[in-house]
A and B are shown apart, each in its own frame.
Chain A
Amino acid sequence: MSRAASTGERRRLAEAMPLAPALILLLLVYVGPVLWFLASSFVGNDGSIGLHNYVRLFGSATYVTTIGTTLKLAGATTLLCVLAGYPVAYLMATTRAGSSLILLVVLPFWTSYLVRTFAWIILLGRNGTINSTLISLGLIERPLELSYNFFAVVTAMTHAMLPLAILTMLSTMQNIGAHYGRAASTLGARGAQSFLRVYLPLSMPGVAAAALMVFIICLGFFVNPALLGSRRETVITQIMIDQLSTSLDWGFAGAACVLMLAVSLAIVALYQSLFGMTAVTGMETGRSQSSLRKSISRGALRLAGGLGQGLSGTGRRIEAAMGAIGLRPRSGGLRGPLALLVGLIVAFLLVPVLFLIPVSFTTSSFMRWPPEFFTLRWYQTYLLHPIWVSAILRSLLVGLGAAIIATTVGTPAAFALVRRRVPGKPALMSFIIVPMILPHMVLAIALFSLYAQIGLVGSAFGLVIAHAVLAIPLVVITVSSVLRNYDQRLDQAASVMGARPPRVFRTVTLPLIGTGMISAFIFSFISSFDELTVSLFVTGGLTATLPKQMWEDAINQVSPGLAAVSTAILVGLTVILLAVALYQRRAGSTAIELRG
């Protein structure tokens, strides 16, 4: 090798250096443990190597049914999220009034999954809001069986995942300029036709990205099935938790994890070959379209075009019919019904959570409706109880620690990915966001197995590191989206005027990307504060974070005390998010909208 080439390589390595901490952390705390743990799935109970665990997994009818249930729940939720989310995202992307909805979608997005599940328990329970309201109105005599079935689980899961679906689709739709629609109409396309031929195909990558994220995250869900489902809605993660807590059967849990990972990776691979990862990572890969993608998108275009033809034919007929009876079609007449639909969907997102608030002040000792007012008993017995206080403090500390680590490690990585000439950027970006895309359960069990061997179970440090790894993708995505909009000529201008690099960073770059970094920090903190799966395993049986304490309480019985805790969390998060939103509005940035 010539000397020039080796110095060239050394320079490229130096360029990539800021990525090193993030990559090392990911390798040590994510990739390594997960691979090691997955390998254990090929070791049987008796220590022999083989496929015993897989034979057991697929050999038992119960397990196969469970796998089927998991896929069915994830599939139904994904479909509902995309269908309900599309009109909301569309309205938000295309109208000024719609864009003001963003905070209403972002708020539930950051509200704890657990809190939102409790809301559904109150609404759908035997003595829940819906049943008692219907009974008191005299419409029914006996309570309907609204919870503990497929419907309840899918409703709550859809409620949980809808904001993510909307925000993912929105980020694609915001890049579809209005001029395409105008161009289409000058070329003679009517409303429906222009939508189906132009807008829909252009928004497809966003729809697919939303479906991808929702489906994969749903594969790892266990909170909703456990609290709102019956035996028939048992999902694979519940089996894994059972197997581990009763028999420490690592091999079997590993086999289930491999299965979950295989399904996830297959979907990610399919998506990547169709659309590339741009819509997920927000990073332009500059890769040309694959032939598969081309043929599929051409097919989709033809299909959409045909639909447009058909619909516009119908439209013309309706217009003619209306003209015949003296009615003139108003332009944009679809806006009204669309706005109504979107209003209903947003209400579905926001309203259920509000029912927690009155219940938290109820004087009865179980959750009932209508609540009998008024007491602060639940706030006193829960929020002031030493167990809860220590759980809250631990969650705050872990969240802060995780956010500090993720921000310090993720920010330089984002800089390298956006600014430097690093080879294999798209692959690196995909690698860094892996913890965000794959189910948390995989990391939870893998780390549990690792920590058990090195004595980190139950330590705050182990949990902080785990949460930091989960938050790094958030930081990288948030900070790099800010950096990509950053005009590097500002830095050049500063250095031309005589400022040395540290001073350029301190006086120009940092103040301008500060908003992005603060947002990234807060997102990391909230994601850790809300994290249940990993905490459930890694903390062991002894110490609890707030979500874990809530979960364990909820398995026994959902009481008004949980509503009180939920209300407190709700108020706290809302204050934080509104403060961030205000701060960002003042700073003229919109990073709060950019997660995932």
Chain B
Amino acid sequence: MTSLPAKADAGSGDAAPAKLSVAGVEKRYGSVVALAPTDLEVRSGEFLTLLGPSGSGKTTLLMTIAGLALPDGGRIVIDGRDTTYTPVYDRDIGMVFQNYALFPHLDIFENVAFSLRVRGLAEVEITRRTHEALSLVQLDHLAQRFPKELSGGQQQRIAIARAIVYQPSIILMDEPLGALDKRLREQMQIEIKRLHRQLGVTIIYVTHDQEEALSMSDRICLMNNGGIVQLGQPAELYFAPRSLFAANFLGEANILTAQPGPGPGIASAAGTSLRFDGSPSAGGETISLLIRPECFSLGMGDGTANRLSGRLADITMLGPMTRLDVVCADGTVLIAKIPTGRAVTELVAGCEINLNCSRQDVILVGGDT
């Protein structure tokens, strides 16, 4: 396991100026709190993902940044300019909508050129920049087509071209890949990352897909119930979740309820004694320990590792990994993912097995690491 990167909280110690700063922004609909007072800073050139289940407030936050919904309180500052109540059309923001929202009555060229025409650019300039943007998404040859004549993936790329053509300071993307199938989605993820690197723009990206968030983001802003749960780099959220929600939402998780002691860094769970890094906050009677399924290995271990034993209840081959469902003596169910290989294929359901994991792989949820 690689060691964890140094803690990198919102922009601290980084020279890059804040592109966007959200301070105390909140939004209510009647008595429903869609977004509790929220603070967020996004650095220039950063790829930040707003991740969360539906109803978590991520889209509401995006809409207030875009100016499509007015906040009930707080301030939104873009490039040092207070834009809290600036009309949408004066914000200099690019946006890719969930279902693309390409204008059905305009052809691809006119869709992309729209923002340039609105800004009253010269015809030569409009033509040049539109073709440039279309070339960036490799669809310049489709300029004369209409949106409905394009496939979903092509429409998606046009929507991106339309959002970048006028070089806005921030690009917002609202679940842009939600309507595509898995293969196309992965392809588009790579494409968007490429554009991000190439153009150096700031992107705020909304998704409920944790894999997408993990693979694309510089930082992830995890949201739930109208507020930010945790903000940090993907590895930080994955290996140092501050809450059970965060632990469960990103990736698969074995969460063990454990009694601390005897001594620091030791707790008993699943019928055995586990060693872990970090120390629980004082006074807690039970603590939650997280072990990722892929952190387990089979066999006797080197003696310094934690060892959990149980009966193999189910074995499922997933491709490169094989999933083992193990029931410990006290009834705790553990999920392990082991690289598929001879050692694994020899296992049969019902046999007793040992699962090993190192001290660093047992993570105290909500503790300091």
By a beta-carbon cutoff of 8 Å, the part of chain A in contact with chain B is 487, 489-490, 492-500, 503, 507-508, 511-512, 588
Contact = CB atoms under 8 A, between A and B. Distances in A.
Contacts of B67: 496
Interface in B89-126: 89-95, 97-99, 101, 103-105, 114-115, 118-119
B97 A492 contact: yes
B118 A503 contact: yes
B95 A496 contact: yes
Contact of B115 (A487, A497, A511, A588): A497
A511 B105 contact: yes
Interface of B: 66-68, 87-95, 97-99, 101, 103-105, 114-115, 118-119, 162, 166
Nearest to B172: A496
Nearest to B88: A495
Contact of A487 (B89, B101, B114): B101
Given A487-B99, A496-B93, A512-B105, 19 more contacts: A487-B101, A489-B101, A490-B103, A493-B97, A493-B101, A494-B114, A495-B87, A496-B68, A496-B88, A497-B115, A497-B162, A497-B166, A498-B89, A498-B90, A498-B119, A498-B166, A499-B118, A503-B118, A507-B114
Nearest to B114: A497
A490 to B, nearest CB: 5
Nearest to A504: B89
B332 to A, nearest CB: 40
A496 B66 contact: yes
Contacts of B68: 492, 495-496
Contacts of B90: 498
A512 B104 contact: yes
Contact of B101 (A490, A507, A511, A588): A490
Nearest to A496: B95
Contacts of A492: 66, 68, 88, 95, 97, 101
B66 to A, nearest CB: 6
Contacts of B87: 495, 500
A489 B98 contact: yes
30 contacts: A487-B99, A487-B101, A489-B97, A489-B99, A489-B101, A492-B88, A492-B95, A492-B97, A492-B101, A493-B95, A493-B97, A493-B162, A494-B103, A494-B114, A494-B118, A495-B88, A496-B68, A496-B91, A496-B95, A497-B89, A497-B94, A497-B162, A497-B166, A498-B89, A498-B90, A498-B92, A499-B114, A511-B105, A512-B103, A588-B104
A262 B195 CA distance: 69
A551 B220 CA distance: 76
| Dominant SS among interface residues on chain A | helix
A500 B89 contact: yes
Interface centre among A493, A499, A508 (most CB of B within 10 A): A493
Contacts of B94: 496-497
Contacts of A489: 97-99, 101
A492 B97 CA distance: 9
A498 B99 CA distance: 20
A512 B166 CA distance: 24
Contacts of B118: 494, 497-499, 503
Interface centre among B89, B92, B162, by most chain A C-beta atoms within 10 angstroms, is B89
A103 to B, nearest CB: 23
A493 B101 CA distance: 7
Nearest to A493: B101
Nearest to B97: A489
A538 to B, nearest CB: 41
Contacts of B98: 489
Contacts of B162: 493, 497
A512 B101 CA distance: 13
Contacts of B89: 495-500
With most chain B CB atoms within 10 A of its CB, the pick from A490, A497, A499, A503 is A497
A503 B90 CA distance: 14
Contacts of A500: 87, 89
A262 B233 CA distance: 71
B168 to A, nearest CB: 9
Nearest to A507: B114
B259 to A, nearest CB: 51
Q: Which of A490, A498, A499, A508 has the most CB of B within 10 A?
A: A498
A512 B103 CA distance: 9
Contacts of A490: 101, 103
A508 B101 CA distance: 11
B115 A498 contact: yes
Contacts of A487: 99, 101
Contacts of B66: 492, 496
Q: Which are the 9 A-B pairs with shortest beta-carbon distances?
A: A497-B115, A489-B101, A493-B101, A495-B88, A496-B95, A498-B118, A499-B118, A511-B105, A495-B89
- Which of A490, A495, A588 has its CB near the most chain B CB atoms (within 10 A)? A495
A585 to B, nearest CB: 14
A386 B118 CA distance: 54
A1 to B, nearest CB: 19
Contacts of A497: 89, 94, 114-115, 118, 162, 166
Nearest to B94: A496
A498 B86 CA distance: 12
A493 B162 CA distance: 10
A503 B89 CA distance: 11
A511 B111 CA distance: 14
B99 to A, nearest CB: 7
Nearest to A508: B103
Contacts of A496: 66-68, 88-89, 91, 93-95
Contacts of B166: 497-498
A489 B99 CA distance: 9
A49 B66 CA distance: 66
In the complex, which of the residues B94, B99, B118, B162 has the most CB atoms of chain A within 10 Å of its own CB atom?
Answer: B118
Contacts of B119: 498
A500 B117 CA distance: 12
Contacts of A508: 103, 105
A490 B101 CA distance: 5
Nearest to A514: B105
Output the residue of A487, A495, A496, A512 with the most chain B CB within 10 A: A496
A112 to B, nearest CB: 34
B120 to A, nearest CB: 10
